[in-house]
Amino acid sequence: MKQRTAVRALVRKHDQTLLLRRANGRESILGKFELPGGKIDYHEQPEDALRRYLAKDAGLVPLSMQLFDVITYIDSDDPELQYVFIVYLVNVEDARVTLSDNYDKAIWQSKSKIQHREITESSQVLLGLSEQKIVTDESGEHQLQIDENIATEDRMILYSDGGSRGNPGISAAAYVVESATGDVIEKGGQFLGITTSYQAEYHGLLLGLERALELGYKRLEYRLDSLMVVNQMKGIYTVKNRELWPINERVIDLLTQFEDVRFVHVRREFNTLADAEVNRILDMHAKPSGHSEENTVY
C-alpha cells in the first residue's frame, strides 16, 4: 500500500470554517468543496507546506497555526493509497480570500449548514461529518464505505450533550433541535444534581428524544460528540454500567416510537450549541464564589 502525507487547514472566522470549491481534478472531487491544503513536498515541513497552500490557493497569511489532529484516510478512487492528513487550526488577520486557478469559489460555512454531498470525501472525514469504514463483501474483498448520514428535508437534526463539574459533580444535560437546513428550532435542558459525565450524556440523549416526540418529529439525524454513546446506540458496544441501564432501557423504548433515527458521531466543536446550553444551566446552579467548584465540564 502506498502512503502520502498531506496538510489541511481548519481556517476559522467566528463559528465558520473556510471551504474551497475545486475547479479542476478528478471527477470525484471536481466541483466539490474541501479544506485548504495539499500534499507535502519532499524535505518540506508540514507548517511550511500549509503556509504555501494558504498563500497560493486562498491568498491568506496565517497569524497562528495549532496542530489539531492527525488522521489516516484511504482514497476510494485508489484503495491502495492511504493519506496521512495533518490538520491545523488556523487563525488569519485578514479573512479576504483570493483564489488560484485550482478553485472557483470560497465559502465560510457554519457546521450545521455544511451539506455532505457538496464536500469531498476526505474533507467530510476531517470535519467529523462522516466516518470512513472498511467492510468485507461476500467475496471476502475489502471495500471502502463512507457513511454520509445525510439529513433530508423530512429528517430533523438533533444535538445533545451532558456535562459534570467534578465527575461526579453537579451535572446538566441539554439538547438542540435544528431543521435539515440548520435553523435552530428549539433548545432546552435540565439540571441533574450530582451525577457523572457519562450519565449526563445519556440524560441529554433521553431529553432530546422525548422532546422530538413531543414536537411530532419521527425521522431524526442525531448528532453526538460522545463516540461511546453513538456506538452503543448502533449496537457496536454494550452498556456495562449498571447505573445507565434504566436510562438506556428508556432510550431504547423511545426509539421504537420513531420511524427512523440515525446516530452520527461529530467532533466536539460541531456540538457547541448543546455544550453552551449545558454550561448555561450549570452556571445557574453553581455555588457562590466563596465555595470552590471545579469549572471543567468533562
Render each residue's pLDDT in the chain as its tens digit; 298 residues: 788 999 999 998 877 899 999 999 989 899 999 999 999 998 899 999 999 999 999 999 999 998 888 888 888 788 888 889 999 999 998 889 999 999 999 999 886 677 667 888 888 888 875 554 444 445 554 444 444 444 444 688 999 999 999 889 999 999 999 987 778 999 999 999 999 999 999 999 999 999 999 999 998 989 999 888 988 888 877 888 888 889 989 999 999 999 889 888 888 888 999 999 999 999 998 765 444 443 434 3
> What is the reported pLDDT for 281?
96
> What is the reported pLDDT for 127?
80
Instruction: Choose among 5, 126, 4, 106: nearest CA to 54.
Output: 106
Distances (CA, A) of 236 to 33, 125, 205, 224: 32, 20, 17, 16
CA gap 58, 96 in Å, rounded: 8
Do 130 and 262 contact (CB within 8 A), yes or no?
no
> What is the reported pLDDT for 143?
44
Instruction: Choose among 94, 73, 75: nearest CA to 11.
Output: 94
The CATH class for the domain spanning 2-147 reads alpha beta
* CB contact set of 110 (below 8 Å; sequence gap of 6+): 15, 16, 17, 182
Q: Locate cell 429528517: which residue?
A: 155
> What is the reported pLDDT for 44?
93
CA gap 112, 135 in Å, rounded: 28
Domain with CATH 3.90.79.10 in the chain: 2-147
> What is the reported pLDDT for 59?
96
**Domain 156-284, CATH:** 3.30.420.10
